[in-house]
Amino acid sequence: MKKYVFRISIIFFGIPFAAHAQNLQMGGGATFGTFKMQALKDFLKPSSGFYLPAKVVDNFPSNIGYNIWASMNVIPSFSTGLIVGLNSTGGRAAYSDYTGSYTNDILVRGISVASTNRYQVYETHHVKFFAGLDAGVIFNRMEVKTNIVAEPAFVGTLERKAKSTNVMFSPGISASRSFHGFFVNAKVLYEFNSAGDLQWTNSVEIMNSTKAGETVMNVNAPVTVRWDGIRLGLAVGYNFNRDGDEK
Amino acid sequence: MAIINRFGPDRYSLFKILASVIALLLFQGCYEPKGNFFVPVSKPPPEGIEVNLADVDDILYVYKPTSFSYATKQGDYTLVKIEGLLDGTSLFDPDNPTKIVLDPKKFQEGNHVLKIEATFLSYSGTLASQIGQEYETLSKEYNLVIDLTAPQPVKIKKFTVKDGTFYVTWEAPEKKNFTHYKVRRYSKYGDQWSEYQNTSLVNNDVLVFKDSLYFGSDIKYQIDLVGYTFDVAGIPSDTIVKPTIMTIKQTGDNTRELTWTKSPLYSNIANILVTKDWSNIYTTYPNEAGAISLQLPFGETPTYSAYTTSPYGEQQGNFFSTMVYVGRRLEFKGLGETLVKTPEWFGSQEILINFDRNTPKEVYFVNSQTLTIERKIDLSGYLTNKGSGGTGYGTTPDGSKFYLFVNENIYQFDKDFNLIKTISIPEMTPSVFAYQIRVSNPGVAVLDTRLHGAVVVNLETGEIIQNNIPDYAYNMGLSPDGKYYIQKGDVYAITGNTPSYVATIPDAANARVLSFKPNDPQVLIAYGDGTVGRYDLPSQSLVTRFDLPDYRVTNFSYDPITGLCGGYHGTYPDIEYFVFDVDTKAIQRTFKVTGDYYQLYNNTVYASNGLAFPL
């Protein structure tokens, strides 16, 4: 995590000093997206032989992602820059009765680092429309946490972690409106991933029942994180140009 | 400052707020899985669990270490722990958590309250049950009585023979605080009861014992109570069921029939085995009444035994064992097998001499008809200086005197065994083999001595009549009146302790037996060739000498009471004894014998092994 903090710090504190350059823009926003995650959905689903009639109650739903970016105009109608984003989603298989509860949670996070490129295609009433393409890599982190509670006699926890790296690109369109150097940007895009296999990094088991360790998950299966899906984004930024307005 | 200058103060503040919000979202806004799937499973009913004790309302009766546990009739339960409290004292055993053992010895007798808590693991399909954590605990209380006081001894109620086997029934004691009955069986040997080793333990709810190993005869039972802290001896009771009865019946002089009946305990018997003289060679007969015929020469004393075999293994019963013989066996009461022999005639009395090797040690006055001992004379007081010297004894035919020879001393007793006198004649020390010395009524004797061989001596005066006779004394004839002795067929008269030659009996030098008639000066002669003769001393003539047709007399014997003679002929096993009149030559009686040494006296044939055959 420290290296991510370092990287983001570079973005936050380094880019403003570069704002002396002409036509520099910086901003941040949020996206609402869907995620394919089919492999993880299969991974989460309890097998028919599982000793509890557990059920998937949360299955990698759409979620809000966050990003920051900085770009500059290479020519008046085209800008390029860097965008760093964060997406997360998860799933849960669960069972509970009066004797206790079982949850098997998967939390997956992806930090994307990509170049962001926009070409202005149209402008009317101070609203500019762009066609864009982001391309880069996603650093995925996944945590699997199995928790069994049968109070008061038993508490068992099993945690596993894994990581992978995806290559992504996201074509889309956006529109922006400037107000005294600040601007608001709305965009629609679709993200494609070329996913790499997860690599398990560690496992922590705290169990006092051997049966509780009979997890449904097959950790040796090739599992991939796929963030593919539509993104609806809204961002705010600041244009460091000479007159404070976005060009 | 450059940024402030470029943005202006308002814009810079807005930028900081924007940057902070973005950073906060980056680090705080990760997704957390959520949701729950609750299944409303019902708690499993515990009615399938039951205690293995009596009904709750009953009072538990404890008289031995008792285990308490719960059981499940249905459902899927596993007892994982059971804990008991007796009057507040824990009975829990951590080494055996699913079992309570109550040792009544550790508590006082009387009433107690037992509380039992049992914890079960159930498998109702819930999450906890799936991981082996679903428990059900039951708690129950019982009134409990500890009773370690022994009941009254068991009395036997009856003995029953039914369907060929034997049953013992007893009365149950009032209390049942014992674990087993111990069935003890005894058989009788003489007057003594001897316990069988195969004691049986039967449950305390049994009141009948089937004895499949009982073959009959005297038996005694005792039913003991075995409790945790006591053993109570039962009241014994005995009975007798007649076994397979074996009888010996005389069917002829030399034949006997051995018969047996069918036992009322026929189911306990597989076969009957009959064996002779304890031999391993036996004859098997079915378990029915039967008989076998025995050929038995006089003098033989075989022991016939009959065994029953059990259909249940190798168990055998010896229901019959007896010695079979022709005639009477002179086993005197009080002497048993130690002195079964033919008595000597001491006048009208019968005596038995008990020897220690060749030394007469005791004299028994006996009655061979009643087989009783009338008197015992201990001679050991006269034998103290015996050393390794010769000993012997002699009796007068009329029973008036008994002489005991110990080295050179000769002790003279009257018919009542009063010591009359003692004389000492060093030359008369008898030889080792002269233990039975022949004495006439007046005291003239012939005996073998160490120094002078066969001698004739007057025991009344101590005078030696003749010594160094080249013969053995027992080959010599001596008349009961002491007037004659015969040596090698030569007859000598004794007059005033002086021998004088009288005559020579023809061919009698090697005669086997020379017997004087008691009241007549006549000599009966058994010649070496088997003929028999009678010699008259006054006339010095052989009155008769004859050979009975087909009879060659061996072991000639003369009965001084009846005047009859006896002997046998033939070879084993066809040896025949015959009794005849020496005057008429008539055969009075014949029967088979074994070929032993026999003596005819008072119309009875006596064998050396103590058998008597009354004619």
Whether B528 is covered by a domain: the verdict is yes
Contact list, B32 vs chain A (CB under 8 Å): 90, 107
Among the partner-chain residues A19, A57, A153, the one whose CB lies closest to the CB of B37 is: A57
**Residue B450: inside a domain:** yes
**Residue B373: φ, ψ to 5°:** -100, 125
| Closest Cβ opposite residue B25 in set A66, A90, A106 | A66
Residue B605's CB: how many other CB atoms inside 10 A?
Answer: 27
Contacts with A173 (C-beta within 8 Å, 6 or more apart), sequence order: A129, A130, A131, A132, A187, A188, A189
- B36–A101 C-beta distance less than 8 A: yes
CATH number at residue B368: 2.130.10.10
In this structure, what is the dihedral angle of CA atoms B481, B486, B492, B493, given to the nearest 10 degrees? 10
Average pLDDT over residues B316-321: 71
A247 in a domain, yes or no? no
Which of B22, B25, B130 lies nearest to residue A211, judging by beta carbons? B130
Determine, yes or no, domain membership for B553: yes
State yes or no: pLDDT of B439 exceeds 90: yes
Which of A53, A98, A212 lies closest to B131 in CB terms?
Answer: A212
Q: Rounded to whole angstroms, what are the CA distances from B561 to B143, B345, B496, B526, B543? A: 94, 11, 29, 19, 21
Q: Are residues B494 and B521 in the same domain?
A: no
pLDDT at position A150: 81
- H or E segment to which residue B419 belongs: strand B419-424
B37: chain A residues, CB-CB within 8 Å = 54-55, 57, 94-96
| A244 lies in some domain | no
Question: Is B127–A91 a contact, with Cβ atoms under 8 angstroms apart?
Answer: no
Asked whether residue A168 is assigned to any structural domain, the reply reads: yes
- Answer whether residue A245 is part of any domain: no
Share of chain A above pLDDT 90, in %: 47
In a domain, B278, yes or no: yes
What CATH number has the domain bearing residue A111?
2.40.160.20
The verdict on whether omega for the bond into residue B97 sits within 30 degrees of 0, i.e. cis, is: no
Q: Is residue A80 part of a domain?
A: yes
For residue B151, is it within any domain? no
- Please indicate, yes or no, whether residues B524 and B495 belong to a single structural domain of this protein: no
Segment of A212-216, B179-183, B260-264, B515-519 carrying the highest mean pLDDT: B179-183
pLDDT at A218: 47
Distance of CA A178 to the CA centre of its chain: 27
Length of chain B: 615
B111 lies in some domain: yes
Q: How many domains does chain B have?
A: 6
Q: B496 and B453, same structural domain?
A: yes
In this predicted structure, the answer to whether residue A121 has a pLDDT above a threshold of 70 is yes
Together in a domain, B442 and B373: yes
Question: Within 10 Å of residue A93's Cβ, how many Cβ atoms?
Answer: 26
User: Are B127 and A236 an interchain contact pair (Cβ–Cβ within 8 Å)?
Assistant: no
Query: Do B38 and A96 lie within an 8 Å CB cutoff?
Result: yes
pLDDT in tens, A60-97: 999 999 898 999 988 888 999 999 999 999 999 999 98
For a pLDDT cut of 70, what percent of chain A falls above it?
Answer: 79
**CATH assignment of the domain containing B599:** 2.120.10.30
**Residue that terminates a domain, selected from B146, B166, B199:** B146
**Average pLDDT of chain B, as a whole number:** 85
CB-CB under 8 Å, B127 with A99: yes
Alpha carbon separation from B201 to B165, B185, B444 (Å, rounded): 19, 12, 75
A13 and chain B: CB distance < 8 Å anywhere?
Answer: no
- Count of A-B CB contacts under 8 Å: 126
Share of chain B above pLDDT 70, in %: 91
Q: Which of B240, B211, B241 is nearest to B223 (CA)?
A: B211
B338 and B304 inside one domain: no
Residue B45's pLDDT band (cuts 50, 70, 90): low
The answer to whether the CB atoms of A90 and B32 lie below 8 A apart is yes
Domain that holds residue A140: 2-239
Asked which of B103, B126, B146 is the last residue of a domain, the reply is B146
Question: Do B162 and B123 share a structural domain?
Answer: no
User: Is the Cβ–Cβ distance between B220 and B236 less than 8 Å?
Assistant: yes
Indicate yes or no: CB of B36 within 8 angstroms of CB of A90.
Answer: no
**Pair (B142, B160) in one structural domain:** no
Q: Is residue B518 part of a domain?
A: yes
Domain co-membership, B488 together with B407: yes
Q: Which residue range forms the structural domain that includes residue B274?
A: 246-326
- Cα distance between residue B51 and residue B138, in whole Å: 10
Q: For residue B42, is it within any domain? A: no
Residues B211 and B307 reside in one and the same domain: no
Query: B343-364, pLDDT tens digit by residue?
Result: 999 988 999 999 888 889 999 9
pLDDT over threshold 60, residue B387: yes
**Total domains in the fold of chain A:** 1
A101 touching B, CB under 8 A?
yes
State mean pLDDT over B551-557: 81
Are residues B275 and B395 both part of a single domain? no
**Same-domain check for residues B342 and B442:** yes
Measure B120 CA to nearest chain A CA, in Å: 15
Please judge whether B3 and A16 are an interchain contact, meaning their C-beta atoms are less than 8 angstroms apart: yes
Q: Does A204 reside within a domain?
A: yes
A182 and chain B: CB distance < 8 Å anywhere?
A: yes
**% chain B with pLDDT above 90:** 33
Choose the closest CB to B128 out of A64, A99, A240: A99
Mean pLDDT over B53-73 rounds to 70
With 0-12 / 13-18 / 19 or more C-beta atoms within 10 angstroms meaning exposed / middle / buried, residue B490 is: middle
Identify whether residues B203 and B260 lie together within a single domain: no
- Name the DSSP class of B531: -
- Greatest mean pLDDT range, B58-67, B293-302, B431-440: B293-302
